[in-house]
Amino acid sequence: MKFAEVAVGAAGGHRHTFTYSIPPSLQVVPGCAVSVPFGPRVVRGIVTGLSDITTVPETRDIIGLISPLPLLTPGRIRLASWIADYYMAPVFSALALMLPPGFESARQVKPKYRKYLVLNVDVEQLPAVLEQLRKARAAGQAAVLEALQAAGGRLEPAVVVKKVRCGRGVITTLKSRGLVREVSEDVFRDPIARTEHPLEFPLQLTGGQQAAWHPIRDAIQAAGSTNVPGLFLLHGVTGSGKTEIYLQALAETVKQGRKGICLVPEISLTPQVIDRFFARFPGRVAVLHSKLTPGELYDEWQRIARGDFDIVVGPRSAVFAPQPDLGLIIVDEEHEWAYKQSEKSPRYHAREVAIELARLTNSVLIMGSATPDVETYYRTTRSEFQLVELSERVTPLGQTPLPEVDVVDMRQELKSGHRGIFSRLLRSAMAESLERREQVILFINRRGRATFVECRDCGYVLNCRRCSGALTYHATEKRLVCHHCRRSYPVPRKCPQCSGSEIKYFGMGTESVEAECKKLFPSASVIRFDSDAVTGARDFERVVDSFRRRRADILVGTQMLAKGLDFPGVSLVGIVSADTSLNLPDFRSGERTFQLLCQVEGRAGRGVYRGRAVVQTYNPGYYAIKYAAQHDYSGFYASEIRYRREFGYPPFNRMARLVFSHSSQSKCLEEAERRAGLIRQEIAARGLTGIKIIGPAPAYVAKLRGRYQVQVILLGHELHNLLHGIGLSAGWVLDVDPVGML
């Protein structure tokens, strides 16, 4: 008797696999999909392993095979097991990440086939055949063969019938005589024109780039012969030529007969990186993104599995692409939070999965960033990753320095009676740039016109009915919008509480900045760049393209701007408020502020102009703002890591976040208290030490869409051990290594 370990796709989700016996009639291999009895029902499952013996006293038989061929390689099964274990997720849901699209939802996407008629006669023999047919008065058959010949040997049957004006019977006769045959072929829906990009050639690396490149190149060349993967952190300021290193790393990998995966935080935000892959590897690039239809995604997946592409570019889920012969994984902008799947289980971080995948496939991994995640950087100091650095910018005109940054203390502005959105310095800098016909970028990390709306008479603040938090006024739609759930409300004429008519607007967002620009610089044209004004990838590209072509003078935007966009005409970046992410109750708020400011400042001076940035803040002494103004990553890192060590935050401890939500506030608190009590008991029972429990306490967004949220945060070394011991009841969400505490 043989036994199979099966991850079952049953509701509720199970963290372990189940043992089934294999009936002799079935050929079961690891990675194939099966149907199995589960309680009173029949469910789908994936076979994760086989064995000759079992410790389970009574096993049930596998009912049948859904896919006789394995859908997953042993390497991917191991990766899924790692994810399930590390992130405490059901095994099946971890495996499902790697299955062909459509499997999990049971809605099988059928590949499209197209039928062709193919000439089955040698070209030399064709004249003789045609003559014979004419003699036999089979002119229709002859015409079909001629039409096929004229079309290069193949045509779709329907086209033939139309061209030759013959009946289907003629084709049937030709087939039976063996003069033509019918073939069917996959038709791959091609989501993007792969040929539109002008061809580009590798650049001659600068001295700095070569120093960074050589260890990576050596690792790629050695990857076949050693079992140590090369894990690199490529730390280089914006515009220092990281993308060029990625491109050359891929070329070297292809030379070694292997392939690559490149992760980007969000496809629509990084069109320029993708374009460069297209230009360098024409026809060899697959792009996976969420806007593909299920059919397109299915096609792309099949072609990838077949080995059609040298590189697969995509967001975090692309780390699961079935790229064969993997030799290189690139994680661009590795510090980006978009790599963490926070919304649903498995709550994995694509960078961590990429590290594990590199280990399993003996691939080289390059994590690139201008502002590395403090935890990633820390791991280079522990020799877990190799640090390579690019310290200079490369621009078409050679090396240009990073922009000079002035920090404006807005408290001083207020004191001297200047209450405008723009300080005097920012205003004059804008005037100078516009005068010289150079472009300006203004950053404010809030959408809308006013961030809260209050009654002057009674102080009542207009809130969302379903969420905790003030409503934002959006002038374009003339409505109040909840930034948590996106519900919008009409603007009341009177205060809902006291019927007073003096409704006042406070705070500012992108719309206020846009309005101020129009007021102060009426002849300048302004584009707004936030998720209200720009919806979808097309829109994004349109705006980026028109600003690049200098169709506008000022771009006002949110953190969308912080991505690797390259606008050569920009000489000035104004950070209208550096303080928005600074006072959040999250241990990462300093890091977040530093990253955002560096990325946004980095948009200035990428072309022929010398760049300049003006940062406005009420906290000019704050370390993240100070270091960002000096482009001083190591200074920032030193302060940040000291603070993390002192308070025991990651990387010095692991963190897990448990959130319970319920429509009743008291139920919510009760359950959270009960759970925290159980955790304390478990810690005591197992004699675990050094685990800190923070909470239970209301989450930062205490109520969301009508449900209260209470959280418990755990910090410690032995969390994994502890978490395995506690089962979670319905309503609880567990996030291991959360990217935010909010």
Binding site for Zn ion (CB under 5 A): 464, 466-467, 482, 484-485
Site string for ligand ADP, 152-191 (x = CB under 6 A): ----------------------------------------
| Binder of residue 482, out of ligand ADP, Zn ion, none (CB less than 5 to 8 A by kind) | Zn ion
CB of residue 333 vs ligand ADP: minimum separation in angstroms?
9
CB 423 within 8 A of CB 410: yes
Q: Which is nearer to ligand ADP, 368 or 738 (CB)?
A: 368
The DSSP element (H or E) to which 567 belongs, if any, is none
* Residue 734 in contact with ligand ADP, rule: CB under 6 A: no
- Our CB check for Zn ion shows the closer of 484 and 667 to be 484
Cα–Cα nearest to 305, from 31, 9, 7: 31
Minimum distance of ligand ADP from residue 569's CB (angstroms): 14
The Cα 376–Cα 330 span in angstroms is 14
The CB-of-470 to Zn ion minimum distance in angstroms stands at 10
CA 181 to chain centre: 46
271 contacts ligand ADP (rule: CB under 6 A): no
Residue type, 62: I
| Site string (545-564) toward ligand ADP, x via CB under 6 A | -------------------x
Asked if 236 touches ligand ADP (CB under 6 A), the answer is: yes
Closer to ligand ADP by Cβ: residue 238 or 445: 238
3-state secondary structure 206-241: CHHHHHHHHHHHHHHHHCCCCCCCCEEEEEECCCCC
> According to the binding rule CB under 6 A, does residue 240 interact with ligand ADP?
yes
Please give the Cα distance from 374 to 654 (Å, whole number).
14
Q: Which stretch binds ligand ADP (CB under 6 A): 145-153, 236-244, 639-647, 713-721?
A: 236-244
**Residue of the chain from 26, 129, 192, 205 that contacts ligand ADP (CB under 6 A):** 205
Considering beta carbons, is residue 18 or 633 the nearer one to ligand ADP? 633
Quick one: 357 or 482, whose CB is closer to Zn ion? 482
Supply the minimum distance, in Å, between the C-beta of residue 484 and Zn ion: 5
Q: How do 259-263 and 311-314 pair as beta strands?
A: parallel
Is residue 595 near ligand ADP by the rule CB under 6 A?
no
Residue with Cβ nearer ligand ADP (40 or 398): 398
Q: The tokens of 600 are what?
A: 């946004």
The region of 242-250, 251-259, 428-436, 637-645 touching ligand ADP under the rule CB under 6 A is: 242-250
- Residue 560 sits at φ, ψ, to 5 deg, of -50, -30
Q: Which tokens in the block code for residue 193?
A: 């024109």
Terminal Cα distance for the chain, rounded? 52
Using CB under 6 A as the binding rule, whether residue 251 contacts ligand ADP is answered as no
Which residues share a beta bridge with 736? 656
Kindly tell me which of 485 and 688 has the beta carbon lying closer to Zn ion.
485
For ligand ADP, the closer of residues 276 and 654 by Cβ is 276
Q: Does 206 bind ligand ADP (CB under 6 A)?
A: yes
R_g over Cα of the chain: 31
Nearer to ligand ADP, 239 or 260 (CB): 239
Instruction: Kindly state whether residue 238 participates in binding ligand ADP, applying the rule CB under 6 A.
Output: yes
Please, which residue, 205 or 694, has the CB nearer to ligand ADP?
A: 205
The reply to whether omega before 101 is within 30° of 0 (cis) is no
Kindly state whether residue 580 participates in binding ligand ADP, applying the rule CB under 6 A. Answer: no
Cα 293 to Cα 296: distance, rounded to the nearest angstrom: 5
Alpha-carbon torsion, ordered 640, 644, 647, 649, to 10 deg: 140
Number of H helices, E strands in the chain: 21, 31
Closest CA to 713 of 731, 728, 693: 693
Span near ligand ADP by CB under 6 A; candidates 198-206, 215-223, 481-489, 572-580: 198-206
Q: Which residues contact 538 (CB under 8 A, 6 or more apart)?
A: none
Residue 140 buriedness (CB in 10 A; 0-12 / 13-18 / 19+): middle
- Check residue 209 for interaction with ligand ADP (CB under 6 A): yes
Tokens of 224: 């076949």
Kindly state the smallest distance separating residue 5's Cβ from ligand ADP, in Å: 44
**Amino acid at residue number 436:** R
Instruction: Please list every residue from 638 through 697 that binds ligand ADP, using CB under 6 A.
Output: none
* DSSP string for residues in 156-181: -HHHHHHHHT--HHHHHHHHHTTSEE
Question: Which CB atom, from 452 or from 652, has the smaller least distance to Zn ion?
Answer: 452
Find the binding residues for ligand ADP in span 390-429 (CB under 6 A): 394-395
Nearer to ligand ADP, 265 or 696 (CB): 265
484: partner contacted, choices Zn ion, ligand ADP, none (Cβ within 5-8 A by kind): Zn ion
Other Cβ atoms within 10 Å of 37 Cβ, number: 14
Question: Does residue 248 touch ligand ADP according to CB under 6 A?
Answer: no
Site size toward ligand ADP, by CB under 6 A:
16
**3 state DSSP class of 709:** strand
The distance of closest approach from Cβ of residue 706 to Zn ion in the complex, given in angstroms and rounded to an integer, is 9
Distance between CA atoms of 240 and 369, rounded to whole angstroms? 10
For residues 631 and 601, is the Cβ–Cβ distance under 8 A? yes
Scanning 11-19, 203-211, 412-420, 514-522 for contacts with ligand ADP by CB under 6 A, the matching segment is 203-211
Q: Which is nearer to ligand ADP, 315 or 346 (CB)?
A: 315
Q: Which one of the spans 18-26, 232-240, 278-286, 400-408 is the region binding ligand ADP (CB under 6 A)?
A: 232-240
Among 42, 41, 45, residue whose Cα is nearest residue 18: 45
Q: How far, in Å, CA of 139 to CA of 173, rounded?
A: 13
Minimum distance from CB of 707 to Zn ion (Å)? 11
Q: Give the bridge partners for 287, in sequence order.
A: 313
Residues that bind ligand ADP (CB under 6 A): 203-206, 209, 236, 238-244, 394-395, 564
